[in-house]
């Protein structure tokens, strides 16, 4: 996993409402074309800090790769902006791939892990502690804005923290890191700054994670899906406040 | 254009951090599968308030339809969640369609309208007035959260205002409304609550609009693209504040 000397933050000049010019930091955004067995799959616009995890997680969440041992090699070429994943089977993909932002839904409920049985409890004090720690972490957002972040948490520990220009890229990168490090999902909590749409719920369930926490809002279908698969869904989580929309029995009020 | 009796806001119960249960309003999110000449193009997760404009705008921004007169008929079927667009040519698409959130880029700079020549001036007082008016409009966001909004403005008038669960759906819906009403882009200002990534800049340029205003941040590539095509790019526009990242010469400081 290399950042390849890539700087995710750039300085630019901007003019404010009084006509004053100043230097402002903004998030980078690079174009990375993902190829699998030499076939072009998708061009991702990304911050570029975790190219391999992003590529692996994208292929995992698109169900183009079923498990990590299928992958033979992975190579990033920053010169031409490509990332090449080869599988042992060497198969070409057989279907169009679409993704992200409610535009091109791939996962469906009946394909998902059964996370009903997990019933991971989460304490109110743990949520408070996580939200406090997470606030300190969003470095690129604080410096440059224009990014979403996701975190993978175990107890009060943040195992992985990823920022990207697209909220789906951040989720996919966490999915890739989980495979790369062989981390199970059943004892994890997933945090995102993004909204809890149905796609977000399904992607997280696909990782075998049963607790999903967001700083933002939630959609009705997101709630319906979470209830159906037994996910604990907590939105508007900021400071010491939150709202539980599904799985309230799994939250322990110890505050 | 029909809302088909569809309610974009739903009431649900949620449990807060004190264990108190209350009724909360959330945004709906429905699955709408777009077919063109009976071929499945994409499944969109949408608020569902402007299905026809969304479908037309999606096909426009994906360059699957070059101009409005190509469309023969369009039919929404809420029973099975599909929208069927037929063209006079009746052609099947010849390529995979991908979209949204930096995942699947379709537009490229050299295909875009040349908006260099437009140089539409925008007054600081007009920006202030628009931001003030726009704050009153985001009805679903205010009631239920979980949505992004876009607006098409001409002078101080808001011609169209669209909220959707995906920021790309909102942009595509505006693109569809512009074709449906035969509105030119050269005298318009585009507003979004979403971040100004390179894709957002290119989609708006594709509509022939040269001024893009956002409540959120901006990426470095978004700025680079805007500078290259001569777009006036204004981010962090909230209250009476904003930051101009491209085309500052087109902003008149009359405040």
One-letter-per-residue 3-state SS of chain B: CCCCCCCCEEEEEEEECCCCEEEEEEECCEEEEEEECCEEEEEEEECCCCHHHHHHHHHHHCCCCCCHHHEEEEEEECCCCEEEEEECCCCCCCCCCCCCCCECCCCCHHHCCCCCCCCCCEEHHHHHHHHHHHHHHCHHHHHHCCCEEEEEEECCEEEEEEEECCHHHHHHHHHHHHHHCCCCCCCCEEEECCCECHHHHHHHHHCCCCEEEECCCEEHHHHHHHHHHCCEEEEEEECCEEEEEECHHHEECCC
- B234 within some domain: yes
Residue A14 has a pLDDT of 96
* A104 vs B contacts (CB less than 8 Å): 42-44, 97-100, 103-104
Average pLDDT over residues A102-131: 74
Spell out the long-range contacts of A71-74 with Cβ–Cβ below 8 A and sequence spacing 24 or more: none
Instruction: Pick the residue of A102, A171, A241, A244 with the most B CBs within 10 A to test the interface with B by mutation.
Output: A102
Could you tell me if residue A175 is inside a domain?
A: yes
Q: Is residue A207 part of a domain?
A: yes
| Cβ–Cβ gap B219/A27 under 8 Å | yes
Q: What is the pLDDT of residues B106-159, one digit of tens each?
A: 566 666 656 666 778 999 999 999 999 998 887 777 787 778 899 999 999 999
The CA-based angle B240-B246-B248, given to 5 degrees, is: 60
Quickly state the pLDDT bin for A94 (edges 50, 70, 90): low
Handedness of CA B124, B129, B132, B138 (dihedral sign): negative
B42 occurs within a structural domain = yes
Considering the domain architecture, whether residues B34 and B160 belong to the same structural domain is answered as: no
Same domain? For B156 and B95 the reply is no
Q: Are residues B242 and B119 in the same domain?
A: yes
pLDDT number for residue A100: 45
CB–CB of A42/A58 below 8 Å? yes
- Is B144 near chain A, with CB under 8 Å? yes
In a domain, A100, yes or no: no
Q: Does B218 lie in the same domain as B136?
A: yes
A42 shares contact with chain B (CB less than 8 Å): yes
Cβ contact, residue pair A99, B101, below 8 Å: yes
Boundary (domain end) residue, out of B106, B129, B150: B106
Asked if the Cβ–Cβ distance from A98 to B105 is below 8 Å, we say no
Are residues B206 and B236 both part of a single domain?
yes
Q: Please report whether residue A3 resides in a domain.
A: no
Last residue in a domain, options B68, B84, B106: B106
Question: Per the domain annotation, does B205 fall within a domain?
Answer: yes
Residue numbers in A near B248 (CB within 8 A): 15
The residue to which tokens 């977000």 are assigned: A200
CB spacing of B102 vs A196 below 8 angstroms: no
**Do B81 and B161 belong together in one domain?**
no
The minimal CB distance from A168 to the residues B14, B103, B236 is found for B103
Residues from chain B contacting residue A103 (CB–CB below 8 Å):
42, 44-45, 58, 99-101, 104, 166, 168-169
Interval B41-97: pLDDT, tens: 888 889 999 999 999 999 998 889 999 999 999 999 999 999 999 999 987 765 544
Please check whether residues B102 and B115 belong to one and the same domain.
no
The residues with which A152 forms a beta bridge, in sequence order, are A160, A190
Whether residue B98 lies within 8 A of chain A, CB to CB, comes out as: yes
Of A46, A8, A50, the residue nearest A26 (C-alpha)? A8
Considering only the beta carbons, identify the residue of B124, B223, B255 that sits closest to A26.
B223
Shared domain for B182 and B213, answered yes or no, is yes
Q: Classify B75 as helix, strand or coil.
A: strand
Complex prediction ipTM: 0.84
Residue where a domain stops, chosen among B70, B87, B106:
B106
A11-37: pLDDT as tens digits: 999 999 999 999 999 999 988 999 999
Considering the domain boundaries, does residue B8 fall inside one?
no
The answer on B155 and B214 residing in a single domain is: yes
| Distance in Å, alpha carbon of B106 to nearest chain A alpha carbon | 9
The answer to whether residues B22 and B14 touch, using CB atoms and an 8 Å cutoff, is yes
The count of structural domains within chain A is 1
Give the separation between CA B106 and CA B202, rounded to whole angstroms.
Answer: 10
Partner A contacted by B109 (CB < 8 A): no
Structural domain span for residue B88? 30-106
User: Does the beta-carbon distance from B217 to A43 stay under 8 Å?
Assistant: no
* A225 contact B CB<8A: no
Q: Domain check: are B185 and B242 in the same one?
A: yes
Helix axes A51-61, A167-180, angle to 10 degrees: 90
B114 and B225 part of one domain: yes
Domain containing residue A122: CATH number:
3.40.140.10
Task: Examine the domain organization and report whether B114 and B212 are in the same domain.
Answer: yes
Chain B positions touching A124 (Cβ under 8 A) are: 17
């Amino acid at each position: 996993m290399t950042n390849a000397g890539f700087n995710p933050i750039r300085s630019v000049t901007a003019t404010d409402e009084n006509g004053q010019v100043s230097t402002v930091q903004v998030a980078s955004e690079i174009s990375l074309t993902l190829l699998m067995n030499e076939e072009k799959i998708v061009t991702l616009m990304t911050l570029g800090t975790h190219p391999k995890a992003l590529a692996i997680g994208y292929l995992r969440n698109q169900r183009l790769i079923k498990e990590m041992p299928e992958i033979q090699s992975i190579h990033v070429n920053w010169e031409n902006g490509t990332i090449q994943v080869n599988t042992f089977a060497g198969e070409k993909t057989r279907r169009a791939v679409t993704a992200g932002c409610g535009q091109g839904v791939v996962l469906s409920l009946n394909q998902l892990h059964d996370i009903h049985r997990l019933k991971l409890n989460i304490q109110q004090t743990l949520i408070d502690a996580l939200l406090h720690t997470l606030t300190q972490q969003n470095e690129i957002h604080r410096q440059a804005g224009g990014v979403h972040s996701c975190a993978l948490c175990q107890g009060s520990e943040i195992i992985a923290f990823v920022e990207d220009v697209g909220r789906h890229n951040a989720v996919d990168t966490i999915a890739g890191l989980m495979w790369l490090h062989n981390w199970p999902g059943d004892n994890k909590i997933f945090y995102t700054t993004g909204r809890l749409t149905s796609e977000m719920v399904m992607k997280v369930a696909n990782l075998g994670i049963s607790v999903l926490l967001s700083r933002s809002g939630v959609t009705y279908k997101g709630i319906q899906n979470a209830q159906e698969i037994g996910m604990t869904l907590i939105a508007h989580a900021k400071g010491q406040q939150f709202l539980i929309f599904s799985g309230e029995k799994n939250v322990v009020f110890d505050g």
